[in-house]
Structure 1
């Protein structure tokens, strides 16, 4: 069995190898494309595809792997990707390089060396923690009511009392604190709440109050902090870039990690989620929201004009909640801001 970290590196082409996945729409090549690229350590498949294609997320539509290649689901440093044409259509092909040894005694070694589709370090911290909860979930979650040994705050190695955990369905919990509300950019409707990660707790004894041991803390644990069962890591074996199946549009409503200027590989929050048809792997075009400006020519300068939205880059959804999603900005062609819009690619 692969570990969860290795699974993150091994999801790369699992669904891309079927000829039935080819799209009917033509794929445009990058005018400055090379004829071949030798994969090096640190490459990501998206970046490689960008060397060949105008829209790198479309590489599944032109990907071809020689069926004689053993374990074609992984791409390693030293492999060679070439661009050719078949019936006038571009095709990306993989040639196994000499750096990968397939002898039985080392066959498991290269798994951690396989390149990823996107920079996984940028999204991995956002795959396991809750981050977004709805109001009902937050209101009904167990909460810290007191600390053992008369401590005023909790931390790693200390114990606390929680109201209330009556069963052992879950033994490990994330400790979170309610943060800002995520709101629809157009209607101001509350879509969910940011869940600030505080630490982790292990259940020691059920009851009202229950007893927990704090196994980790990134901030001081306070009375009223909520406990949410630890969610399992999002599995990415079936994750690959594609357009949404229906028209989806909305806005960027926040950017994570305290970033103010949004650029490549920043994680943003969208005001659309699984209930709106978004799923992991969906690629979206970011549109710089046109400003509303004053028309200085009209009488008394009272008229205003809203400028058109302009393309500003693209992003890939990697985690969805019912009404909001997280996406990774893959390319920024101009400044990107909170409240900028997104549409289908």
Structure 2
């Protein structure tokens, strides 16, 4: 009770201990009014105070200055028991331009929002030394929600196409210009298909085919090989100038319009609005043991209501054992062992990044909406 009252006193009056609140109780009552006192009584009822305490970390700082290299997930974890609860306590200041964008030098601080703890933003200021000459101040880059160096290939290059897309009907590389088996940036290749001169295209190579538990195709991954521009056509063949290549371009590689995505500033970690049930399909790159900051493919997508920013719990499959009496095989119950945040979703497949892992995860592990909490909603 003392711990809960101390937290409440800090929120409502700015004092850090229960003793200070009791000593100046009369003055506090005049300041917060009858309505806030009723709120205080409610907070002290069984379960309510615990709900508030469970939302904010006990060791959360009163203020934190954002530094270069931070991500939104990192900052959320400094203040909240679960980083994906960020939207529940984030309060936008309408006086700040682009309040959802957070920059190095900004200050995140705990505030009192009608008697409830919330997080606010104090915009940092660039320090500029005056001098007789003009200087260009570099534009600040907002902190990303996730480590961009990990997810960038899956946002701007790799893609998943639905089962309805017939890859055999897509434009493709017929041959290189000088009979090479493979080509790279600066070379030209001949392509066949309906392409527009002057337009940039991506070159792709078919990757893994994702299937559900019954074997039905959910989608196919296309690995980005490079980019090119159609320089001209002669008959049914076009000449594609290679502008960039991440791998050797080979005969038969697909040529498709580029699709680039970026993480927007309003992208925030949050639980799905509905129940989601799925599993880990694979780990791009063939990694066997899955841990923190590994990208995984999931068998849920926009059709199931999954969108970028949604956080899913990962349940590790229980171990198979044998009943000591009946000798029958038994699988032990699963255990929640991690969190995955979706950063790109397709119709029936999504890419997610493992943000927390208390155990080694594996392909086939179940993903689901985090269990509903008995917390007082701050929305």
TM range (shorter): 0.7 to 0.9
TM-score, normalised by the number of residues in structure 1: 0.81
Cα RMSD, aligned residues only: 2.7
- Distance in 1, matches of 2:96 and 2:236, equals 59
The counterpart of 2:67, out of the listed 34, 37, 40, is 40
Aligned residues: 313
Task: Tell me the equivalent position of 2:58.
Answer: 31
Matching of residues 1-345 of structure 1 within 5 Å: 28-69=55-96, 72-97=99-124, 109-112=138-141, 114-135=142-163, 136-165=165-194, 167-168=196-197, 171-184=199-212, 186-206=213-233, 207-234=235-262, 236-298=264-326, 301=327, 303-345=328-370
1:288 Cα deviation from its structure 2 partner: 0.9
1:174 Cα deviation from its structure 2 partner: 1.4
Task: Tell me the equivalent position of 1:18.
Answer: none
Bigger radius of gyration among the two: 2
Alignment check: 8 A CA contact 1:165 1:209 kept:
no
1:38 Cα deviation from its structure 2 partner: 2.6
TM-score, normalised by the number of residues in structure 2: 0.74
Q: Say if 1:274 and 1:179 are closer, same or farther in 2 by CA, change over 3 A.
A: same
Alignment check: 8 A CA contact 1:165 1:210 kept:
no
Unaligned runs of 5+ in 2: 1-50, 371-379
1:343 Cα deviation from its structure 2 partner: 0.4
Unaligned runs of 5+ in 1: 1-24
SS in 1 for 2:55: coil
- Distance in 2, matches of 1:166 and 1:94, equals 48
1:228 Cα deviation from its structure 2 partner: 1.2
- Distance in 2, matches of 1:326 and 1:203, equals 31
More helix by share: 2
Alignment check: 8 A CA contact 2:144 2:263 kept:
no
Task: Tell me the equivalent position of 1:10.
Answer: none
